[in-house]
Chain A
């Protein structure tokens, strides 16, 4: 009834090339963004901000980075956590070692440092692919885990090994309350998502996808694998670096290398696989699934237990939570191997024709 395209005719290629060519989609996304900015800050409490929303925003950003590399360029990576760590520690060092360094500048420089490191660790992708590349990127993970733990310079000789950052200041805006942190991350995520979408719909994005789908044909058409793969590593690591800096400086405040361990790399890869490889929206779905679902299960399980008159202990909840979470992942991968984003787009296709089946 509402999701219809009839009567909407494109009269220029420009209007056909918009990010959301269907006006209904455009309005929906605008409404969601507007609600995120204007509605949510007045509706939720501090716990929700800290436990769910801020981690969700930052991990979405990181998942976007992983999706660019894995989903769009087809280069598998297990080093995502390491690039986040590089971003976080680089931003920290820029902030404390360069006097007068603005926080936003430090965060972006953290991203650029991660991009440079990403290019270096992306070089093996020119020779190896698939699982072998995964192992090669694993080297990045182990190397940086070690470096940030053992090389004291990175942590400014902190005796405990953990570093901390005071409230950050963005053009006079002191980002210290959960609402401020949420809004700051939201602004960055919106801008970065827009950039990611522009990149993947433009010439560079087509080069990445061409390399992913058929690299011999891509070369014959005049795409240089070296350029396409290394830019994908650079852009992906830039996103991861900025996400890492936000994770450390905004979400945690003080952190140790363990915050960016291999678990984080796996988590980000799972987000992209479950959310949808090669779809920008997939990054958000994946992050939401992995961040929100465990907490949701945690809250809902005792209530369900109560319905059946069962006393559910906290230990049991955490065990059952992991089991259900795992089962859901398997379920999703069987039902839709292309991720939640594909489920979403199939749903939209159906809705466009509803109530007719074809």
Chain B
């Protein structure tokens, strides 16, 4: 992690509260994400980590709170707006397009950058053809980067779980995001797959300067790769800081290990 310089605050979340009926998923949560850093969100099951991610990229609308993305207020972030603003994400339960090939899945990530109109596409003329080639080049770079050349024409439904996770990451990277949200990128993987995934996340962060916000359960991984960690429990923030600070935080210890009474 050399040469990487953590910059200014790029994403600032202020007093976010989200509830579903009577269930308070998130209560008054504030934290910020700095440019180029790897920010982890951890917490026990049901702590509201995925809800937090869904709020950031507009899948859920918080009842209260403000999202400030590079100085711009997004009180009503929607998914499309989030995608346009340079946020990409992967999903906990892989949400790939099962009927399409790996290549097509990753190409959908380029969708926002493709401008050819329908008539051009229907006759495969001009901009349509040119764009398809340009973006294919970019997609192939990502395929190389994630080492999935051998499966590019395979329908994703046929791939093993670990590779599907990698394609999910590839699709998010194809958007060339400024902030990458990863929802449990290593869940269900074996040790080698986890190592690969860690390497990819660090490489993305290092080479492209992409800011990463990730949710992860594997504490070893989180403490190793993240710059700062925010800890949630029952929808409340109970800790925030560097891995060492968080590890020493008594609230965090009691949430994870149970308090001694």
List chain A positions with a Cβ less than 8 A from chain B. 13-14, 17, 195, 198-199, 202-204, 206-207, 209-210, 212-214, 216-224, 231, 235, 278
Contacts and interface: CB of A to CB of B under 8 A. Distances in A.
Contact of A220 (B57, B99, B116, B122): B57
B136 A198 contact: no
B80 A219 contact: yes
Contact of B171 (A14, A204, A221): A221
A142 B116 CA distance: 37
B175 A198 contact: no
Contacts of A218: 97, 108
20 contacts: A13-B136, A198-B124, A199-B121, A203-B111, A203-B114, A203-B116, A203-B131, A206-B108, A209-B100, A209-B104, A210-B108, A212-B99, A213-B97, A214-B97, A216-B59, A218-B97, A220-B79, A220-B83, A220-B88, A221-B171
Given A198-B123, A220-B59, A223-B111, 14 more contacts: A198-B121, A198-B122, A199-B118, A203-B128, A209-B100, A210-B100, A214-B95, A214-B96, A214-B98, A218-B97, A220-B79, A221-B108, A222-B83, A222-B175
Interface in B127-171: 128, 131-133, 136-137, 140, 171
B199 interface: no
Contacts of B57: 220
Nearest to A231: B118
B136 A216 contact: no
Contact of A204 (B89, B100, B121, B175): B121
A13 B91 contact: no
Size band of the interface chain B makes with A? 35 or more
B104 A213 contact: no
A53 to B, nearest CB: 26
Contact of B137 (A13, A203, A219): A13
A192 to B, nearest CB: 9
Nearest to A198: B124
Contacts of B121: 198-199, 202-204
Interface in B13-67: 57, 59
A204 B131 CA distance: 13
Give 6 closest A-B pairs by Cβ, nearest first: A222-B83, A217-B95, A213-B97, A222-B112, A202-B121, A219-B79
A220 B114 contact: no
Contacts of B88: 220-221
B215 interface: no
A203 B107 CA distance: 8
B16 to A, nearest CB: 18
B198 interface: no
A222 B80 contact: yes
Contact of B82 (A207, A216, A220): A220
Nearest to B112: A222
A206 B140 contact: no
Nearest to B124: A198
> Which among B84, B121, B133 has the greatest number of chain A C-beta atoms within 10 A?
B121
A209 B98 CA distance: 9
A216 B123 CA distance: 30
A231 B122 CA distance: 13
A222 B59 CA distance: 12
Interface string B66-82: 00000000000001101
A217 B97 contact: yes
A209 B137 CA distance: 22
B109 interface: yes
